[in-house]
Amino acid sequence: MNMELSRRHFLKGAGAGLAGTTVGAFGFGDIEAAYAASIRPFKLANLTETRNTCPYCSVACGIVMYSKGDLKKGEKADIVHIEGDADHPTNRGTLCPKGSALLDFVHSETRLKYPMIRKPGSNKFERATWDVALDRIARLMKDDRDQNFIAKNNDGTTVNRWVTTGFLAASATTNETAFITYKAVRSAGMLVFDNQARV
56 binds ligand SF4 (CB under 6 A): yes
When the beta carbons of 58 and 153 are compared against ligand SF4, the nearer one is 58
97, 130, 93, 100: which is closest to 112 by C-alpha? Answer: 130
**Beta-bridge partners for 82:** 65
How far, in Å, CA of 118 to CA of 16, rounded?
A: 66
Q: Does 61 bind ligand SF4 (CB under 6 A)?
A: yes
Of 16, 23, 31, 59, the residue at the interface with ligand SF4 (CB under 6 A) is 59
63 burial via Cβ count (<10 Å: 0-12, 13-18, 19+): buried
Rg (CA), the chain: 28
For the segment 71-110, give every residue that binds ligand SF4 (CB under 6 A): 91, 95-96, 98-99
Closest approach of ligand SF4 to the CB of residue 177, in Å? 16
Q: Which of 20, 47, 54, 185 binds ligand SF4 (CB under 6 A)?
A: 54
79 vs 64: CA distance, rounded Å: 10
Choose the stretch contacting ligand SF4; rule: CB under 6 A; options: 50-58, 114-122, 140-148, 149-157. 50-58
- Of 135-174, binders to ligand SF4 (CB under 6 A) are none
List Cβ neighbours of 66 (8 Å cut-off, separation of 6 or more): 44, 47, 48, 49, 50, 79, 80, 81, 82, 83
Q: Considering only residues 16, 23, 31, 57, which one is a binding residue for ligand SF4 as defined by CB under 6 A?
A: 57
Phi, psi (degrees; rounded to nearest 5) at 161? -105, 145
Of 20 and 84, CB closest to ligand SF4: 84
H or E element at residue 23: helix 7-25
CB of 60 to ligand SF4, least distance (A): 5
CB of 83 to ligand SF4, least distance (A): 11
Among 47, 60, 65, 82, binds ligand SF4 (CB under 6 A): 60
Residues that bind ligand SF4 (CB under 6 A): 54, 56-57, 59-61, 91, 95-96, 98-99
